[in-house]
Chains A and B, each alone.
Chain A
């Protein structure tokens, strides 16, 4: 029999085993899978998702949710380009001709501000995080429609839009076996490292785990829990805007529905990677595993020419499996707790 501790270590690292199995499966299914081009594609696709998942991981560990990031991502992409390209066909911008760097700064600031407002509504307003972030998701979507008036904004042949393509598309360097590594991949990798450091080795991360584990206890130990929650939503909003900047450089034109439905993938990535929806549990590296798994599956199915119908079904199943694992983890810790109580009764 495996001890509880071993089981929980196994569950915590399951993601890398699953990733290996799935990866191997696709290697045998498609000769195009293990090619530099495909690996490069998987990583690049993982970059945007990864940035959102990093933000969501912070939020989840603090025991909160942020449904709004898919909209913030869309808004940032749309707004970033809209501010620099000419009005009217074919670019459908705002004709503001803002300096592209200022435009990026403005979108990042907007993302952080959206997060801050959410944090204020939840902490000062004592509103439920689910409802607040859902409402913000809808509101931002509305703003996007108003911005673009339904027409797709694009940066065709516009040198000012280069700063978007740089983050979204530009090759940073070429690695043998892995192919082109884009700036986006390097940036996301760095962010995962920073996120990992903060969660594991910095007081800020430690406090987030405490808040997610037992908010009253964290409060009693002098942690300013409300302030931390506002900060966590700010980080999430900022990263969503960054992901928007990254995505804007990859899609040809930006529709007002950019990013719609993406939030499910974000949650799936985090939860499959071992980040718990009940708060206080999970690691940044686990979340990275979740992101890599999802984009591997996505590309693999794509190469196997699986129909869109099945892709949707499989994505739904993956989310269910992720939730199932999360529930099992919670049950495991309850088991531990009841055993501990038994033990104390015996000794007491």
Chain B
């Protein structure tokens, strides 16, 4: 059974129909590449799965159960982690504070809690080391390079043991070495029974690490097939519109 299933999901922003009835599913141990031109609706779909955007209509099933995400917390509770395309960072906070935002480590009893600054900094430092990033937990995000910022957003997905990881262009700003790290991480997640959706414009990455590729065009899913059954040329044609459907 698939872990996540979307049925006829639609989303409109005023007059813009960002998603016009998308069906999609993903199971444990699967890595799916989601591709499409700018404005095709990829990020909107990711945000819906992450509980950050509510669909206009359609259904979401998690583990076969009809689910409504009222907030990103609901999705998180079910084991869905995301790296947003815009990274969703607060520039005025430190790297560690951003990593733990919304799920800070606390000490205390009853209603009285205190942030565990040192513990969060330590854990964040470990995560950055795992990501082979130079990011330091104490640094303010506003002082960081694009790659360091991306590392902060990636580190968030490693705080828990998620069931499904959504990566919306996670490699746009990072170095070759770090890209290799992220791809290895995706492979590792997949091989340990996790589900991963990778949104990327880098076709090479998708073909290297994904089992399946889905293509969106103008809010519609026009292809969804195993990597083995398609080719770089076909996917390129689907994205650009040279091919209607596959």
Contacts and interface: CB of A to CB of B under 8 A. Distances in A.
Chains A and B come from one and the same complex: yes
Interface of A: 4-5, 201-203, 206, 209-210, 212-214, 216-224, 280-281, 333, 336-337, 340-341, 343-345, 347-348
Contact of A336 (B103, B106, B142): B142
| Chain A interface main SS type | helix
Contacts of A281: 92
Contacts of A203: 104, 106, 113, 115
Given A202-B113, A336-B142, 6 more contacts: A213-B92, A217-B87, A221-B101, A222-B102, A281-B92, A348-B173
Contacts of A220: 50, 52, 72, 84, 88
How big is the B interface, by class?
A: 35 or more
A347 B147 contact: yes
Contact of A223 (B97, B102, B142): B102
A217 B88 contact: yes
**10 A-B pairs closest in CB distance:** A344-B146, A213-B90, A221-B102, A213-B92, A222-B73, A217-B88, A344-B145, A280-B92, A220-B88, A222-B102
A219 B70 CA distance: 12
Contacts of B142: 333, 336-337, 340
Contacts of A223: 101-102
B143 interface: yes
Interface in B71-101: 71-73, 76, 84, 86-93, 97, 101
A333 B140 CA distance: 10
A340 B145 contact: yes
Nearest to B102: A221
Contacts of B104: 203, 206
A183 B201 CA distance: 65
B91 A214 contact: yes
A206 B115 contact: yes
Given A344-B147, A348-B147, A201 B115 contact: yes
Contacts of B89: 214, 217
B143 A340 contact: yes
Given A201-B115, A202-B115, A210 B93 contact: yes
Contacts of B103: 222
Nearest to A342: B145
Contact of B114 (A201, A224, A336, A340): A201
8 contacts: A202-B113, A206-B97, A206-B104, A213-B93, A220-B50, A220-B72, A337-B142, A343-B145
Interface string B118-147: 000000000000000000000010111111
Contacts of A5: 143
A114 to B, nearest CB: 25
Contacts of B92: 209, 212-214, 280-281, 333
B67 interface: no
B72 A216 contact: no
